[in-house]
C-alpha cells in the first residue's frame, strides 16, 4: 500500500515537494487560504485577452541562479519568457541619478549605464568603482564566509560609502526585500554570490502564465488538495502522525510542513521541542506590496520610467521600489499604466489602489544558518523520522524560490531513502 503523505502549505517548496512525491506516494495538500499559496496574494485584472491574474509580488528569475527551478520547469514542460529588468535609481524627490539599459541578444543579456544627463554626476564620481565592481563579480573565485557584515565587507574591498548606499545597498534591499539594517545580518558571502548570479549575461525571465500556470502543473497528480483548511497541530499516533484540523483529524505516514518557520513552529508541541526552537530563531521581516495606478510612485518625468524604479533616501538609507507591470507582463502592455510598489514611502490614494498585501518572509543570519543546517542533518540521519520541513529558509543562501526547490529535492530524497514506495 502506498504511503500517505500530508503537506501543509502551498508555496513553491510545498508544491515542488508534492509534485516530486506524488509520483510514488499518496499526497494530500492542505492550505489555510481559499486559493493556493504561491498566487493567493495576486489579483485579476482585465486585459485585451480577458482576465489575467497578476502575481503580487511578481517573480523574476534567471537560469544562472535558479538552476533547480529551471530544471523543474523543464520537467513539467512550462516555459519562461525574457523580460528587461532595466533599473532607474532616484532620490527621495523622485529625481533620477542613475539608469541602465538592457540589450537581449541570442539568449544573452547585456546591461550598461545610460548615457544621459541624469547619470552624469554619478558616473563621474563612480565609474571607476562600477568597473572594478563588475570585474570583481566576473572573477572566478567564490567569496568565502567571513565575519564582516555586507557594508563592512564592501568597505574592506575599497569601495566608498556613497557607492554602497546609492547603488549596492538598494540593489540588495530589493533582491532580499528588506531594509539596510536587516541586510547586515545576512552572511556577506551569500549577498555577494547572489549579486554575481544576477549580474551575469543570463537574461531575466518570467514564467509564462505566472504562478497560476505553475500551480496547475504541480498539483495535477495530487490525490487531494484541501483549501481553507486550518491546521491546529500535529501529534504522534503510533507509527503515524495525526494531523489535527479545525473540523477533523487525519492520519498520515509522513507530514511535511511547507510554511514559513515562524508559522511552522506553531504547529509543534513539546514532542518536537528542538525543531520548534530552531524554527523560532530564524529571523524574518514584514514587507508591503501595493498594486496601483498612481504615477506619483514613479520618477517625476515619464521619459525616465523603467521596468524597475528604485528610490533611495540618502539621509535615512530608506529604500523602496516601483515595478512598471506593463513592461513585465506582456498581456498588460496596452493597458493603462499599472504598478507594484514595494514599501512605498508616500501614501497611495485609495481610488488608485488596486490591492495592498503584507508579507512576512524569512531572512538569514550566520546563527540561523547553523541552526537550520542542524535541522537538515536531523532530517537526514534520524531513523524512522515522520515530520519534515521545506521552505526557502531550509537551504543555504538567500531565501528565494530557488532555495525552496532545493529544500523540496532534499526532503524528497530523504523520504525515499527511508521509505520505499
Domain boundary residue, one of 346, 362, 378 = 362
Task: Indicate whether 250 belongs to any domain.
Answer: yes
Q: What is the pLDDT of residue 1?
A: 56
Name which of 33-42, 44-53, 311-320, 361-370 the model is least confident about. 44-53
Task: Indicate whether 65 belongs to any domain.
Answer: no
Whether residue 289 sits in one domain with residue 276: no
The mean pLDDT value of the chain amounts to 92
Whether residue 342 sits in one domain with residue 388: no
Domain boundary residue, one of 362, 378, 405 = 362
Whether residue 256 sits in one domain with residue 118: no
Higher pLDDT, 196 or 160: 160
Q: What is the pLDDT of residue 419?
A: 72
Per DSSP, helices labelled H in 99-231 are 117-137, 150-156, 161-163, 169-176, 180-183, 188-198, 210-219
Instruction: Say how many C-beta atoms besides its own lie within 10 A of residue 41's C-beta.
Output: 19
pLDDT at 46 exceeding the cut of 80:
no
Q: What is the pLDDT of residue 84?
A: 84
Domain boundary residue, one of 362, 386, 407 = 362
Whether residue 368 sits in one domain with residue 350: no
Whether residue 170 sits in one domain with residue 255: no
Mean pLDDT calculated for residue range 141-164: 94
pLDDT at 273 exceeding the cut of 60:
yes
Whether residue 327 sits in one domain with residue 299: yes
Task: Indicate whether 409 belongs to any domain.
Answer: yes
Task: Indicate whether 100 belongs to any domain.
Answer: yes
Name which of 329-333, 334-338, 387-391 the model is least confident about. 329-333
Whether residue 117 sits in one domain with residue 21: no
Whether residue 110 sits in one domain with residue 223: no
Residue 341 belongs to domain with CATH number? 3.90.660
pLDDT at 333 exceeding the cut of 60:
no
Whether residue 255 sits in one domain with residue 136: no
Q: What is the pLDDT of residue 378?
A: 97
Whether residue 172 sits in one domain with residue 144: yes
Q: Left (φ > 0), alpha (ψ -120 to 50) or beta: where does 228 sit?
A: left
Q: What is the pLDDT of residue 248?
A: 94
pLDDT at 409 exceeding the cut of 70:
yes
Task: Indicate whether 73 belongs to any domain.
Answer: no
Residue 261 belongs to domain with CATH number? 3.50.50.60
Q: How many domains does the chain have?
A: 2
| 178 close to 136: Cβ distance less than 8 angstroms | no
- Give the tens place of pLDDT for each residue, 164-208: 999 999 999 999 999 999 999 999 999 999 998 887 788 999 999
Mean pLDDT calculated for residue range 329-354: 85
Whether residue 166 sits in one domain with residue 306: yes
Q: What is the pLDDT of residue 334?
A: 56
- Give the tens place of pLDDT for each residue, 113-147: 998 999 999 999 999 999 999 999 988 678 899 99
Q: At what angle do helices 366-381 and 273-280 cross, to 10 degrees?
A: 150
Pick the closest to residue 88 from 330, 291, 324 (CA basis).
324
Pick the closest to residue 362 from 389, 395, 397, 399 (CA basis).
399
- Give the tens place of pLDDT for each residue, 323-332: 999 888 765 5
Q: What is the pLDDT of residue 331?
A: 52
Task: Indicate whether 63 belongs to any domain.
Answer: no
pLDDT at 11 exceeding the cut of 90:
yes
Q: What is the pLDDT of residue 20?
A: 97
Task: Indicate whether 74 belongs to any domain.
Answer: no
CA distance 1 to 286: 43
- What's the grid cell of residue 2? 502506498
> Model confidence at 276, in pLDDT bands (50, 70, 90)?
very high
The whole-model pTM stands at 0.94
Task: Indicate whether 221 belongs to any domain.
Answer: yes
Instruction: Say how many C-beta atoms besides its own lie within 10 A of residue 376's C-beta.
Output: 17
Whether residue 355 sits in one domain with residue 316: yes
SS3 15: helix
| 79 close to 70: Cβ distance less than 8 angstroms | no
Domain holding 272, by residue range, is 4-57+209-282+363-418
Range among 1-10, 79-88, 106-115, 339-348 rated most confident: 339-348
Q: What is the pLDDT of residue 330?
A: 61
Amino acid at each position: 500500500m502506498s504511503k500517505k503523505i500530508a503537506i501543509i502549505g502551498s508555496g513553491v517548496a510545498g508544491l515542488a515537494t508534492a509534485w516530486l512525491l506524488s509520483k510514488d506516494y499518496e499526497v494530500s495538500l492542505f492550505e489555510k487560504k481559499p486559493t493556493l499559496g504561491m498566487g493567493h496574494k495576486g489579483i485579476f485584472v482585465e486585459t485585451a485577452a480577458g482576465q489575467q491574474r497578476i502575481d503580487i509580488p511578481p517573480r523574476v528569475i534567471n537560469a544562472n541562479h535558479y538552476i533547480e527551478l529551471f530544471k523543474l520547469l523543464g520537467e513539467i514542460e512550462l516555459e519562461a519568457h525574457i523580460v528587461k529588468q532595466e533599473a532607474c535609481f532616484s532620490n527621495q524627490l523622485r529625481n533620477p541619478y542613475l539608469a541602465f539599459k538592457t540589450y537581449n541578444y541570442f539568449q544573452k543579456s547585456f546591461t550598461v549605464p545610460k548615457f544621459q544627463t541624469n547619470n552624469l554626476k554619478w558616473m563621474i564620481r563612480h565609474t571607476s568603482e562600477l568597473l572594478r565592481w563588475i570585474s570583481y563579480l566576473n572573477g572566478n573565485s567564490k567569496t568565502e564566509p567571513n565575519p564582516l557584515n555586507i557594508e563592512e565587507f564592501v568597505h574592506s574591498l575599497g569601495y566608498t560609502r556613497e557607492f554602497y548606499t546609492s547603488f549596492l545597498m538598494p540593489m540588495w534591499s530589493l533582491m532580499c526585500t528588506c531594509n539596510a539594517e536587516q541586510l547586515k545580518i545576512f552572511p556577506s558571502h551569500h549577498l555577494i554570490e547572489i549579486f554575481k548570479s544576477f549580474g551575469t549575461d543570463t537574461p531575466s525571465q518570467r514564467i509564462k502564465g505566472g504562478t497560476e500556470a505553475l500551480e496547475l502543473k504541480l498539483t495535477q497528480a495530487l490525490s487531494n488538495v484541501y483549501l481553507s483548511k486550518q491546521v491546529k497541530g500535529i501529534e504522534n499516533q503510533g507509527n503515524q502522525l495525526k494531523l489535527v484540523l479545525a473540523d477533523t483529524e487525519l492520519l498520515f505516514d509522513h507530514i511535511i510542513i511547507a510554511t514559513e518557520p515562524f508559522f511552522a513552529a506553531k504547529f509543534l508541541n513539546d514532542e518536537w521541542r528542538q525543531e520548534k526552537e530552531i524554527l523560532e530563531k530564524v529571523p524574518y521581516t514584514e514587507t508591503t506590496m501595493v498594486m496601483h495606478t498612481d504615477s506619483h510612485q514613479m520618477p517625476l518625468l515619464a521619459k525616465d520610467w523603467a521596468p524597475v524604479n528604485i528610490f533611495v533616501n540618502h539621509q535615512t538609507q530608506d529604500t523602496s521600489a516601483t515595478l512598471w507591470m506593463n513592461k513585465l507582463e506582456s498581456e498588460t502592455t496596452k493597458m493603462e499604466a499599472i504598478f507594484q510598489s514595494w514599501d512605498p514611502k508616500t501614501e497611495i490614494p485609495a481610488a488608485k489602489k488596486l490591492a495592498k498585501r503584507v508579507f512576512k518572509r524569512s531572512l538569514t543570519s550566520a546563527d540561523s544558518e547553523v541552526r537550520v543546517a542542524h535541522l537538515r542533518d536531523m532530517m537526514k540521519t534520524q531513523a524512522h523520522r515522520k515530520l519534515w520541513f521545506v521552505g526557502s529558509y531550509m537551504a543555504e543562501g538567500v531565501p528565494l524560490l530557488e532555495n525552496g526547490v532545493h529544500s523540496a529535492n532534499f526532503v524528497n530524497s530523504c523520504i525515499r531513502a527511508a521509505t520505499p514506495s
